[in-house]
Amino acid sequence: MTKERKILVYGLSEKEKERLMGEGLNLHQIHNGNAGGTLEELIENKEIPHEGAPLGIVKIMIFCGYETNDELKDLISKIRKEHVFGSIMAVITRTNLKWKFDYMIEHLLEEREENKQIEMERRAKLAENLG
């Protein structure tokens, strides 16, 4: 796994990418021409075309070479507040490094739905306790 800081981006608008690059961030665009490989292959800039069902319309940002610490939390917070709205964000791990990009999208979307359900249940329980 590379130590170079890079953000794999998919589904972002040109304006969003320009703003991120203006912050000095190193972006690597994921598209149908390179989305067929694993996250590791994407990090290594290998061009493996995506085959199969369309990847869908979703904004994804995957952080590579970043430590999961306060610096990354602050960066993500800034990106969400100032530059990219509604993006799913993730960090490269030893586990997901070998995942194909389309599997990563599927995993992140499932995780987002689970988190929404957990939040709805938490809010319902809170309202029940208050009411």
pLDDT tier for residue 2 given thresholds of 50, 70 and 90? low
Nearest-angstrom CA–CA distance, 23 and 20: 5
Q: Which residue has the tokens 């689970």?
A: 114
pTM of the model: 0.85
106: which 2 tokens? 């599927």
Q: What is the mean pLDDT of residues 110-115?
A: 89
DSSP 38: B
With a CB cutoff of 8 Å and minimum separation 6, the contacts of 66 are 5, 72, 75, 91
Whether residue 7 is predicted with pLDDT greater than 80 in this model: the reply is yes
Whether residue 1 is predicted with pLDDT greater than 70 in this model: the reply is no
What pLDDT score does 130 carry? Answer: 84
pLDDT tens for each residue of 76-112: 999 999 999 999 999 999 999 999 999 999 889 898 8
Nearest-angstrom CA–CA distance, 63 and 75: 10
Q: Which residue has the tokens 């991120």?
A: 20
Q: Would you tell me how many other CB atoms lie within 10 Å of the CB of residue 55? A: 18
Q: Are 59 and 122 in contact (CB under 8 A)?
A: no
